[in-house]
């Protein structure tokens, strides 16, 4: 199919080439030979009257025009995918939709374990892929590589739609046999204790550290740093250490581990978890159904998520 002398099939190749910036990797994704992929790039260069990708040392770098084309090309393909090629489903029970959702291990434990169980009863053919957020989380959302991202407010991309899902408080967790701490903890005790914290990304700085520094000009004494939220309570058991964590996850683990949950020594800011999706999916009826289902399960009074 051609539009104004452009073979629209070439847009798929252009999207992959701009993302990979490598002929070999692009050829593998397109299921083409390297020579055929080079030929496609040549046709694209002829049409746009621009090199698009130029060799710089061992790398291929996008030209200024290529950088301008990257987002519009991706959004055109997403629009085609969601509005033209997608088949409408009128019976949720018959839907075979596969959702790619980006969420932390904390959210998977306290939200999605329950959500997926309930959805399976209503839509047994629906499938899910839960993806951990990383350095490229925002880029994946902007490229439409995930259907839904759930994350704190500061990760939300303003150019794409979002909706508040729920608010979360933080609590302190200690080993049940830690006799050095009573039912409450002072700020002095809190700062004097060894802490278990979680850190992500290159900065390796736990988010709560920045808040403590800005409010009190002090740091916690981090003795153990882990890479996910679920290991925080496990690393406290059998020690004199303390962890500051999400209240829902703390209550979940306190059912099975010898833990005590304490209020923090100071009032910590509430954390807001938002659902966010690419703007091209805003009118996707199946994604809208999923978002509504998530909100219903999380916000109802008897929800295990809120227990």
Domains of the chain: 2-85 (1.10.10.10), 92-167+272-299 (3.40.190.10), 170-269 (3.40.190.10)
What Cα–Cα distance (Å) separates residue 280 from each residue in 66, 87, 234, 250, 292? 21, 16, 41, 37, 18
pTM above 0.85, yes or no: no
Q: What is the pLDDT of residues 217-264, one digit of tens each?
A: 788 888 999 989 999 999 999 999 999 999 999 999 999 999 999 999
Q: Give how far the C-alpha of residue 132 lies from the chain's centroid of Cα atoms, to the nearest Å.
A: 6
Give me the residue label for tokens 């991706």. Answer: 74
Report the distance separating Cα 203 and Cα 198, nearest Å.
12
CA atoms within 13 A on the CB side of 107: 23
Contacts of 189 (CB under 8 A, 6+ apart): 181, 265
For residue 98, what is the enclosing H or E element?
strand 98-102
Q: Which residue has the tokens 């051609």?
A: 2
pLDDT tens digits in sequence order for the chain, 307 residues long: 444 566 777 888 888 888 888 888 888 888 888 888 888 888 888 888 898 998 887 788 889 898 888 888 877 777 776 655 555 555 788 889 999 999 999 999 999 988 999 999 999 999 999 998 877 788 888 878 899 999 988 888 888 899 999 999 999 999 999 998 988 999 999 999 999 998 876 655 566 766 776 777 788 888 999 989 999 999 999 999 999 999 999 999 999 999 999 999 988 888 899 999 988 888 888 899 999 999 998 887 666 555 5
- Give tens-digit pLDDT for 135-169: 778 888 887 889 999 998 888 888 889 999 999 99
Residues 6+ positions from 84 with CB-CB distance below 8 Å: none
């Amino acid at each position: 199919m051609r539009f104004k002398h452009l073979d629209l099939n070439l847009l798929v190749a252009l999207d992959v080439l701009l993302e990979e910036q490598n002929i070999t990797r692009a050829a593998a994704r397109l299921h083409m030979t390297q020579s055929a992929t080079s030929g496609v790039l040549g046709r694209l260069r002829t049409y746009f009257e621009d090199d698009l990708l130029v060799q710089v040392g061992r790398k291929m770098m996008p030209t200024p025009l290529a950088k301008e084309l990257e987002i519009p090309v991706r959004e055109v393909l997403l629009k085609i995918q969601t509005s033209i090629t997608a088949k409408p489903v009128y019976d949720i029970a018959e839907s075979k939709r596969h959702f790619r959702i980006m969420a932390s291990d904390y959210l998977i434990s306290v939200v999605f374990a329950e959500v997926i169980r309930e959805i399976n009863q209503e839509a047994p053919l629906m499938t899910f892929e839960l993806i951990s957020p990383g350095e490229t989380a925002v880029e994946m959302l902007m490229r439409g590589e995930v259907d839904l991202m759930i994350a704190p407010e500061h990760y939300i991309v303003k150019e794409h739609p979002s909706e508040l899902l729920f608010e979360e408080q933080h609590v302190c967790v200690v080993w049940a046999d830690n006799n050095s701490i009573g039912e409450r903890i002072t700020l002095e005790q809190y700062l004097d204790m060894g802490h278990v914290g979680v850190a992500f990304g290159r900065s390796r700085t736990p988010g709560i550290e920045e808040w403590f520094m800005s409010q009190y000009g002090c740091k916690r004494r981090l003795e153990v740093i882990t890479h996910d939220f679920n290991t925080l309570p496990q690393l406290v058991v059998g020690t004199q250490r303390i962890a500051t964590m999400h209240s829902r996850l703390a209550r979940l683990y306190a059912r099975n581990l010898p833990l005590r949950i304490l209020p923090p020594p100071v009032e910590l800011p509430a954390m807001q978890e938002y659902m966010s999706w690419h703007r091209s999916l805003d009118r996707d009826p199946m994604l809208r159904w999923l978002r509504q289902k998530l909100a219903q399960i999380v916000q109802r009074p008897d929800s295990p998520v809120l227990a």
